[in-house]
Amino acid sequence: MLLSNRVAIITGGAKGIGRGIALKFAEEGCAVTIADVLEKEGKRTSEELSKTGVEGVFVKCDVTDSRQILDMVEQVISKFGKVDILVNNAGGFGPTIPVTDITEEAWDRMLNLNLKGVFLCCKAVIPHMIEKRYGKIINISSAAAIAGGPPQVHYSAAKGGVLSMTLALAVELGRYNICVNAILPGLIRTDLWQPNVPPGLDEDKFFQQLGEKLVLLQRVGTPEDIAVVALFLASDLSRYVTGDRVLVGGGVPLTPPFID
């Protein structure tokens, strides 16, 4: 198995993309700690992981709170003795909103969750990776980091920051055999998209139309599509890959030739 005897922390791993990555890692022999604020969903996912024969652990953790992050990391170190893989997946967005309607408070919340949280988790985990002279850090950015996307300038700015942080960390940490890479998901079907489904429109129909209109491969992606790329970046198959970004969007942000 590709991740035998590895230990991973996945933030926001209770559901959606994070859950998909957690399940894929467990299939490949990795012990996984899910750090999330969603206690019910997080425990359920950790139980699913344990059924695969590896250890699945849930720790309730708000990634915008440095004290909670440090406590979570210490729990992982106490239990497993190391952290080989960190997946910074926790984040979120909301309905599309013009820049003129974004409040300062909304800006701060978006950047705290999507950018500051990545920094705080890296800061807490990196010393342990340096000590072991090994590490894989995977930051979940977004296609919106390079393509703008729907009107959510605060989300695009935060995810752009994640991409820049990835490059800077790769430069700083390469000497310690720590690889830092980013995944940029395109249109991936998760609960986060729910606020953007028009009232009265069936959710399946919404995603079908979205994929047919905007994606070269004619479908919206799934968490599994992200998980297989995360597996590559977490495993030694990518041992000579760092400071890179992988755009996983079925062709997004390229514009389909058939778009009206």
pLDDT per residue as tens digits for the range 8-33: 999 999 999 999 999 999 999 999 99
Which range is least confidently modeled, 110-114, 146-150, 151-155?
146-150
Cα 124 from Cα 176, distance rounded (Å): 16
Q: Is the pLDDT reported for residue 148 higher than 80?
A: no
List CB contacts of 222: < 8 A, sequence separation 6 or more.
Answer: 20, 188, 189
Q: Up-side HSE of residue 80: CA atoms within 13 Å toward CB? A: 23
- Catalytic site includes residue 155: yes
- pLDDT at position 259: 57
Closest CA to 115 of 160, 178, 67, 180: 160
Query: Is 103 exposed, middle or buried, given 0-12, 13-18 or 19+ CB atoms closer than 10 A?
Result: exposed
Domain residue spans of the chain? 7-186+223-247, 193-220
pLDDT band at 195 (very low <50, low <70, confident <90, very high): confident
Per-residue pLDDT reduced to its tens digit, 204-223:
888 898 899 889 999 999 99
- Return the minimum-mean-pLDDT range out of 98-112, 134-148, 156-170, 189-203: 189-203
Angle, vertex CA 65, rays to CA 63 and CA 69, nearest 5: 60
What pTM, to 2 d.p., does this model score? 0.94
Identified catalytic residue from 134, 155, 176, 240: 155
DSSP 259: -
In this prediction, residue 254 carries a pLDDT of: 86
What confidence tier does 258 reach under pLDDT thresholds 50, 70, 90? low
What's the CATH class of domain 7-186+223-247? alpha beta
What is the per-residue DSSP string for 122-145?
Answer: HHHHHHHHHHHT-EEEEEE--THH
- Token look-up 């299939």 returns 27
pLDDT band of residue 260 (cuts 50, 70, 90) is low
